[in-house]
Homo-oligomer: A and B are copies of this chain.
């Protein structure tokens, strides 16, 4: 969403009484430079200025930061330092494989700049994932100095009872004063109840979205959560008048982005398939591109096989894409006839430790194919210092502004940042559309604008002579 569609409501959000406002990181950084021609660091500074009384929160992909590879520790330090300098308060740090070693350095970096380090558990279900395991993982994150624990349910898989058991278990194992934030999407239609049971178990903070931006693949509605708690003994500190103002603002903004909306309002298939919606549509597109759009069911049956061979990783970026793409290859070319480079790296430990044992034959095949050997150390331990080189790379780019922030932007998105640097001067580009624009496009797409369906009279000039003529489909 373009910054200009948010600035007017920031003051109200700052007054509403949220524990934090998640407003940066995750995919927003990428979107800023890829689609909106906005400097993400400028966006962060603007939020900081407009919400002086709020904790600003971001999602940080551990050693991957906001990118898709592991970065050397000094880059992680630099990123966290600059994010804090520009106004970030709460860093929700996670790793797709729940490998604590991939979180450790980022968490330490956050502590070093005196900010809030939130250790994150990615929730998934598999024969190897159970309540006990999640409680243990929380313990390791707390040992690393986590100021709070986030239970992150990116696929709306977290049901009320396990939510209750995990939150209660963490509180009982590590103390009732252990802060727990619960993050659920609402896709499956069960997670509003999940938040209620998590609250009953002692959860301190739960994530919601204002109602006019809620539901579907998004979050549960904030105002509903406030009302839900009446009489339970639990309360929020939220001001309903502020919430209504915020709601009305986004109610007018949301239609501008209709073309980017998911059509899914509620869908429980994931409980059976384990495949997040985003991952499914990726696989469908890959199959269509190969003219095999009809084989999606085979691929969905193949995913559990590939996931098991990989030691049951949670399915979240990037593991969801890696497992999904390999499943597609297996169906199209025969099982493991072709192994993607990413899947080979996953099998060899270059993304970190998976919950379960990985298929030894496939580890061997991956090593053969890539001429790399299996590793058991923290992947980033193998990386050479790269900061100075990243600075040099950035210096070579047109439009580079000389700041460490720009160096980091280019380090995270080397294929996008150079283009952004050259167009940055043109200023933000709002990709939202007015309802009128959307309707006109629909008409033109349907060819209606050029169609004459019934006889109609026109003033036509032929060879200088004007005549009124009737035109109809020839």
Instruction: Name the interface residues of A416-474: CB closer than 8 Å to any CB of B.
Output: 439, 442-443, 446, 448-454, 456, 458-460, 462, 467, 469, 471, 474
Please give, as numbers and ranges, the residues of chain B lying within 8 Å of A358 by CB-CB distance.
Answer: none
* C-alpha spacing A422/B443, complex, angstroms: 41
* C-alpha spacing A192/B225, complex, angstroms: 11
Is A8 part of the binding interface, using a Cβ–Cβ cutoff of 8 Å? no
Q: Mark A149-167, 1 if CB is under 8 A from B, else 0.
A: 0000000000111100100
Is A232 part of the binding interface, using a Cβ–Cβ cutoff of 8 Å? yes
Is A221 part of the binding interface, using a Cβ–Cβ cutoff of 8 Å? yes
Closest to A233 in B: B161
Q: Mark A210-228, 1 if CB is under 8 A from B, else 0.
A: 0100110000110111111
Is A193 part of the binding interface, using a Cβ–Cβ cutoff of 8 Å? yes
Please state if A265 and B215 are interface contacts (CB–CB under 8 Å).
yes
Is A384 part of the binding interface, using a Cβ–Cβ cutoff of 8 Å? no
Please give, as numbers and ranges, the residues of chain B lying within 8 Å of A400 by CB-CB distance.
Answer: none
Please state if A439 and B449 are interface contacts (CB–CB under 8 Å).
no
Q: Name the one of B230, B266, B272, B446 contacting A221, with C-beta atoms under 8 angstroms.
A: B266
Please state if A230 and B188 are interface contacts (CB–CB under 8 Å).
no
* C-alpha spacing A268/B208, complex, angstroms: 15
Is A271 part of the binding interface, using a Cβ–Cβ cutoff of 8 Å? yes
Is A363 part of the binding interface, using a Cβ–Cβ cutoff of 8 Å? no
Is A196 part of the binding interface, using a Cβ–Cβ cutoff of 8 Å? yes
Please give, as numbers and ranges, the residues of chain B lying within 8 Å of A227 by CB-CB distance.
Answer: 159, 188, 190, 268, 271
Is A267 part of the binding interface, using a Cβ–Cβ cutoff of 8 Å? yes
Please state if B446 and A474 are interface contacts (CB–CB under 8 Å).
no
Is A278 part of the binding interface, using a Cβ–Cβ cutoff of 8 Å? no
Give residues in A with beta carbon < 8 Å to B. Answer: 159-162, 165, 188-190, 192-193, 196-197, 211, 214-215, 220-221, 223-228, 230-232, 240, 244, 265-269, 271-272, 439, 442-443, 446, 448-454, 456, 458-460, 462, 467, 469, 471, 474
The 29 sampled A-B contact pairs (Cβ below 8 Å) are A159-B228, A159-B230, A160-B196, A160-B228, A160-B232, A161-B230, A161-B232, A165-B231, A188-B227, A189-B211, A189-B214, A192-B192, A192-B193, A193-B196, A196-B196, A196-B197, A211-B265, A215-B265, A224-B266, A224-B268, A227-B268, A227-B271, A244-B269, A265-B265, A442-B442, A452-B452, A458-B471, A459-B474, A462-B469
